[in-house]
């Protein structure tokens, strides 16, 4: 697998023809990996380009590494979907085939970011393994050369990996300087999964519906800008260099020739120094932990804690030990007492989508599929969000400093 590929998800902004043209140009200048998916709605156009490239002798099939993915509403008919991708891409095999998301939940193409499917369900080990076994059968048939997982968490991986007859060869995850996912990254590597990081510079071109005033732009982070200045390059290239030197495959997307050329070239020249790689660790703005807070994370924008290994009281205790409420509120609330007496005493219940939309549109993806939040606020200076789902296994808790309104 190459260390650098071309992402092909751009259907919110670019036409299939534009993306296919970028694939043609990228392959001609040296790209050898393409990250595709059925839900991107452009595999048929990309297939036409690939057929032409093979026919013209620009590249041989065995020189390319091509991925695809089964979408959320197709988990019960994986073979059918894979065969369609093979037909669209005009290929006899796919190099790496993913379960795109671990949830069999469907959202219509182009729907609003706040849309909710009433039939959505939380993660199920049994349902996921049924899907995974179908991928294993594709591997047995030779239709795919390797299989992988995507958008997983450590807790989900720890549940399903022991059940896999064929282990995942790779794990796709969102990964960029402001969202480094160190725990998940380390877990993947320790279990022989190649980390493939998407959105390596964040998502600066994402649709307006997914933006909000509190967004973090990786290319504007002071650590990234500082390193870019030292090398005389665009901050986006620092993010890509960082990803490759960190030891992951990265798949930036661009339809602009100058950009996809510079993206590839930057990984081959003028590497970042060890000191610069260390500095970029400080660019992280979202820290995901299992409840053990590293001292260096204190003061960053937010902390998300999984409850998969901790009960609510234990996690609240860990949170409050780092961010004691009386440091940020005029009249502190004893959350531990509130939760002990009655988990739903004083909070304002709402759907997770509504609350996250008020705070951070992208938070929906960072935190995951959760039922609803208990929202605590005191003096509008600090709040804790206690998240509950059908079980603590799918729950999170986030403490966010700063003035908020609801």
DSSP string, 213-229: TT---GGG-HHHHHHHH
CA distance 303 to 336: 18
Are the C-beta atoms of residues 195 and 188 closer than 8 Å to each other?
Answer: yes
Q: Which of 1, 129, 307 is nearest to 137 (CA)?
A: 129
CA distance 236 to 242: 10
CA separation, residue 250 to residues 24, 135, 172, 200, 353 (Å)? 19, 23, 9, 7, 29
Choosing from 40, 97, 187, 394, the catalytic residue is 40
SS3 354: helix
Catalytic residue check, 40 = yes
Q: Which of 1, 93, 4, 13 is nearest to 50 (CA)?
A: 93
Are the C-beta atoms of residues 253 and 6 closer than 8 Å to each other?
Answer: yes
To the nearest 10°, report the CA torsion of 179, 184, 189, 191.
-170
Buried/exposed 218-246: b ≥16 CB within 10 Å, e otherwise: bbebebbeebbeebebbbbbbbbbbbbbb
CA distance 179 to 202: 8
Q: Dump strand ranges (E) for 262-301.
A: 286-289
CA separation, residue 217 to residues 156, 207, 222, 228 (Å)? 29, 14, 10, 15
Please report, for the chain, how many H helices and E strands are present, in that order: 14, 14
The DSSP bridge partners found for residue 376 are 384
Give the residue numbers annotated as catalytic, written as ranges: 40
């Amino acid at each position: 697998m190459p260390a650098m590929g071309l992402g092909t998800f751009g259907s919110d902004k670019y036409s299939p023809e534009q993306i296919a043209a970028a694939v043609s140009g990228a392959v001609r200048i040296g790209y050898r990996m393409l990250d595709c998916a059925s839900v991107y709605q452009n595999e048929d156009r990309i297939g036409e380009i690939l057929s032409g490239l093979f026919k013209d002798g620009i590249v041989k099939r065995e020189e390319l590494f091509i991925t695809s993915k089964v979408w959320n509403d197709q988990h019960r008919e994986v073979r059918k979907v894979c065969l369609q991708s093979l037909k669209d891409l005009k290929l006899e095999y796919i190099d790496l085939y993913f379960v795109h998301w671990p949830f069999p939940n469907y959202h219509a193409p182009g729907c609003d970011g706040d849309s909710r499917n009433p039939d959505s369900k939380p993660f199920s080990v049994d349902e996921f393994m049924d899907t995974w076994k179908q991928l294993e059968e594709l591997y047995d048939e030779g239709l795919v050369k390797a299989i992988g997982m995507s958008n997983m968490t450590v807790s989900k991986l720890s549940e399903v990996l022991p059940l896999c007859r064929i282990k995942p060869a790779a794990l796709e995850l969102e990964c960029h300087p402001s969202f480094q996912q160190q725990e998940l990254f380390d877990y993947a590597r320790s279990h022989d999964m190649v980390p493939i990081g998407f959105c390596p510079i964040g998502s600066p071109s994402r649709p307006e519906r997914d933006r909000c005033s509190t967004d973090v732009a990786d290319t504007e982070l002071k650590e990234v800008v500082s390193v870019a200045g030292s090398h005389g390059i665009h901050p986006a290239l620092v993010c890509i260099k960082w990803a490759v030197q960190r030891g992951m495959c990265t798949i930036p997307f661009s339809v602009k020739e100058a950009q996809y050329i510079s993206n590839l070239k930057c990984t081959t020249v003028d590497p970042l120094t060890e000191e610069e790689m260390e500095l970029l660790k400080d660019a992280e703005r979202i820290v995901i932990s299992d409840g053990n807070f590293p001292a260096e994370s204190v003061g960053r924008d937010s902390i998300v804690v999984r409850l998969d290994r901790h009960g609510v009281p234990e996690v609240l205790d860990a949170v409050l030990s780092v961010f004691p409420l009386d440091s940020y509120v005029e009249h502190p609330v004893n959350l531990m007492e509130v939760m002990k007496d009655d988990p739903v005493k004083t909070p304002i219940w709402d759907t997770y989508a509504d609350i996250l939309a008020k705070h951070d549109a992208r938070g929906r993806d960072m935190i995951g599929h959760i039922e609803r939040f208990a929202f605590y606020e005191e003096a509008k200076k600090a709040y804790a969000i206690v998240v509950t789902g059908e079980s603590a296994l799918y729950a999170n808790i986030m403490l966010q400093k700063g003035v908020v309104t609801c």
